[in-house]
Amino acid sequence: MADNFVALAAVADVPPGKMYRAIHDGKAYLLANVDGAVYAVDDMCTHEDASLYKGSLHDDCVKCPLHGSRFRLATGEALDEPAEENLNTYAVKIEGDSILVAVG
């Protein structure tokens, strides 16, 4: 099954050290640029419904604004309690000025 890459943002929307929230088919994705590498994960914390976009970047992790759980962007790994479930991660590719994410 081929990945369904969809343009979710422009490269300019996600400069290094910044995050961007994109919605596709009613689902929220978090895009984050860490030192030029763009990652895509689910926007919602796996512990409680909180948008990770409202959180903060710490090196290669995003920190949830609600209870402080951190998730590694490359793997989705939950690093801190209370979150125990990992985030879904999505393949990313850059084509021209667009950031494409494999959403399905």
Question: 5-102, what's its fold?
Answer: Rieske Iron-sulfur Protein (2.102.10)
Write down the domain spans for the chain.
5-102
Cβ count within 10 A of residue 3:
13
List, in order, residues 6 or more apart from 2 with CB less than 8 Å away: none
pLDDT, position 2:
54
Average pLDDT over residues 9-26: 97
Q: Is the dihedral of CA 74, 83, 52, 2 positive or negative?
A: positive
CA 89/CA 91 separation, integer angstroms: 7
pLDDT tens per residue, range 49-78:
899 999 999 999 999 999 999 999 999 999
Average pLDDT over residues 12-24: 97
With bands split at pLDDT 50, 70 and 90, how would you rate the model's confidence at 1?
very low
pLDDT tens per residue, range 19-55:
999 999 999 999 999 999 999 999 999 999 899 999 9
